[in-house]
Amino acid sequence: MGAITSRPSAFSKAVTAVTASVCGMLAVTAVLAGCSTSAKDSWAGRGEPVTFANEPVPSPPPDTLVNGVGGLRVVLEGRVIAAAGLIRPVTSECDTTVIEPAFTCRVTYLGEVVTYQVTTKPDSQGTYTWQAKPDALIATRTGIEAAMWHKYATRATAMRCDTPFPARQRVDPRTSLRHRCYFKPTLGDKAFGKDSGNAARTVAVKITIYDGWIRLDEITQ
């Protein structure tokens, strides 16, 4: 009776070699797939598109030197408009026509009254230092969209804002709004494009309303 050997045939060697080769290719493919550097854009498409806001961005008048109570009213009106980001008719009044240590001024804008508490101190002959604190400010969606366009239009391929976004809201000074806006950066943008740590993903923008301006802060994923 002949003995049965365990030596593989030439055919079985070839099959084993091919099988090992295929398995090796699969292993390489698996490693490459695991090292993919594509970044998920979780904020893409969030909110509604921002349409072009054909509105000039207001800036408050300089407040280093104002001429009496009338000049102060002009400055306070400008602050309210700049905080809203939208140039619209505005009126104001103060409860005095001469400089006093403390008095109140009211600015009416879009039907809302912003009340300023003004304090002054004599500085030199005929001049005073002053401070004015508002009880609230008015934020507008159109003004915020205009600020987004002016800051990011040349750096973005798309801009959107959360919805529903109030057309107008009364907020405390230095309030960061609950709603945010977003922009999709261009691939070549140095700060947020494809070669940055952000990898061209959508950037969120936090909106804070100050007395006299709108602050926009970028937040990455």
Tokens of residue 1, six digits: 């009776």
- At 64 the pLDDT is 77
**Whether the predicted model's global pTM rises above the 0.95 cut:** no
- At 126 the pLDDT is 78
Residue 50 contacts residue 163 (beta carbons within 8 Å): no
- Positive or negative torsion for Cα 109, 111, 112, 115: positive
Query: What residues does each domain of the chain span?
Result: 48-53+139-219, 68-138
**Which residue intervals of 35-140 are DSSP H helices?**
68-84
Kindly tell me the number of DSSP H helices and DSSP E strands found in the chain. Answer: 3, 12
Tokens of residue 84, six digits: 């809203």
Per-residue pLDDT of the chain (221 residues; tens, 9 = 90+): 433 333 444 433 443 343 344 333 333 333 333 333 457 999 999 999 998 878 888 987 787 788 899 999 999 999 999 999 999 999 999 999 999 999 999 999 999 999 999 999 988 777 889 999 999 999 999 999 999 999 999 999 999 999 999 999 999 999 999 999 999 999 999 999 999 999 999 999 999 999 999 999 999 99
- At 52 the pLDDT is 81
- At 19 the pLDDT is 38
